[in-house]
Amino acid sequence: MLVVITLVASDTSTATQLAGRVGAALAPVSGPAERTVVLGPGAVDLVVEAAELAPIRRTVLDILDGADAGADACVQPWEGRRKRLLVADMDSTIIGCECLDELADFAGAKAQVSEITERAMRGEIGFEGALRERVGMLKGLPLTALQQCYDERVRLNSGAETLVKTMAAHGARCVLVSGGFEFFTRRVAAVAGFHADRANRLIEAGEALTGEVGEPILGREAKLAALLEEAAGLGIDPAEALAIGDGANDLAMLGAAGLGVAYRAKPLVAAEADARVDHADLTALLYFQGYRADQFSV
């Protein structure tokens, strides 16, 4: 089968040099490199013929780790690389913060909440129970704090808007699926260009939060269900979906997607994902799909 290795580095020269090293190192496990294509600044495709993906991935990651090049890579079959569905986590993926942690700051409980968040994202404790515990610390928080938190703390990560709007412009459906809260996903989805969003609901009483979250909680299995339902709604196979996330509650949807990408992820997630983005911004996901920089919409 044809296999495409996409390398995203700080500049085109570095990416091209890495492609040369990768091509030479792959000689024992693949056919000769068929072609090298520059997709944009710092992004290069290397196309080879190979029987299996796993040896290619190991070789590529070994080279990147050994070179300490600050580069990211994706190894996948050439056929079907451009996806028709994007399902993205929000906190620390599409945006640069954890909204619950930031809300807790307004309630004077950020240190306690952040510690629980970190353990949950590493998969050390169950997500649902951890969410209930953290939301409980927000009891009595005025509703005005939600808008203040959004205005002061929530920012799109670099490349997020370009990723979403480019895929949407080329016919893909883009869905934001978060273990966070509807208040934030609605606003982030609108700004970034997502078609839809799914998240949890904070319970209100009067002008304050009750410290409770609506049931059922959207966690790991609900994220997987969202991907499968969205794919079914489009009449496509999950293999035609791209999923991205950073925490343990993203693992099921990353595993079900045709391409599951770990973004600045916890070690457990990075180890199990098809590809990871540790250095580049979110436009790397466009390069992984074969988009050229002149096709970007933003």
Q: What is the pLDDT of residue 27?
A: 79
What does the pLDDT average to over 80-100? 97
HEC secondary structure over the chain: CEEEEEEECCCHHHHHHHHHHHHHHCCCCCCCCCEEEEEECCEEEEEEECCCCHHHHHHHHHHHHHHCCCCEEEEEECCCCCCCEEEECHHHHHECCCHHHHHHHHCCCHHHHHHHHHHHHCCCCCHHHHHHHHHHCCCCCECHHHHHHHHHHCCECCCHHHHHHHHHHCCCEEEEEEEEEHHHHHHHHHHHCCCEEEEECEEEECCEEEEEECCCCCCHHHHHHHHHHHHHHHCCCHHHEEEEECCHHHHHHHHHCCEEEEECCCHHHHHHCCEEECCCCCCHHHHHCCCCHHHCCC
* pLDDT score of 31 more than 70: no
Q: What is the pLDDT of residue 7?
A: 97
Active site residues: 89, 91
* pLDDT score of 208 more than 90: yes
Confidence of residue 23 (pLDDT cuts 50, 70, 90): confident
Q: What is the pLDDT of residue 18?
A: 92
Q: What percent of the chain has pLDDT over 70?
A: 98
Give 156's contacts (C-beta < 8 A, 6+ positions apart). Answer: 94, 95, 96, 188, 191, 192
Q: What is the pLDDT of residue 24?
A: 87
* pLDDT score of 224 more than 80: yes
**If you average pLDDT over every residue of the chain, what do you get?**
94
Q: What is the pLDDT of residue 181?
A: 97
Q: What is the pLDDT of residue 248?
A: 92
Confidence of residue 32 (pLDDT cuts 50, 70, 90): low
- Which tens digit of pLDDT belongs to each residue from 278-292? 999 999 999 999 999
Q: What percent of the chain has pLDDT over 90?
A: 85
* pLDDT score of 262 more than 70: yes
Q: What is the pLDDT of residue 282?
A: 98
Confidence of residue 95 (pLDDT cuts 50, 70, 90): very high
- Which tens digit of pLDDT belongs to each residue from 112-144? 999 999 999 888 999 999 999 999 999 999 999
Q: What is the pLDDT of residue 115?
A: 95
Q: What is the pLDDT of residue 25?
A: 87
63-77, 134-148, 165-179: least confidently modelled range:
63-77
Which domains, ranges and CATH numbers included, belong to the chain?
A: 1-79 (3.30.70.100), 82-291 (3.40.50.1000)
Spatial contact of 40 and 87, defined as CB atoms under 8 Å apart: no
Confidence of residue 28 (pLDDT cuts 50, 70, 90): confident
Q: What is the pLDDT of residue 287?
A: 98
Q: What is the pLDDT of residue 34?
A: 72
Confidence of residue 85 (pLDDT cuts 50, 70, 90): very high
Measured CA angle at 282 (ends 270, 275), to 5 deg? 30
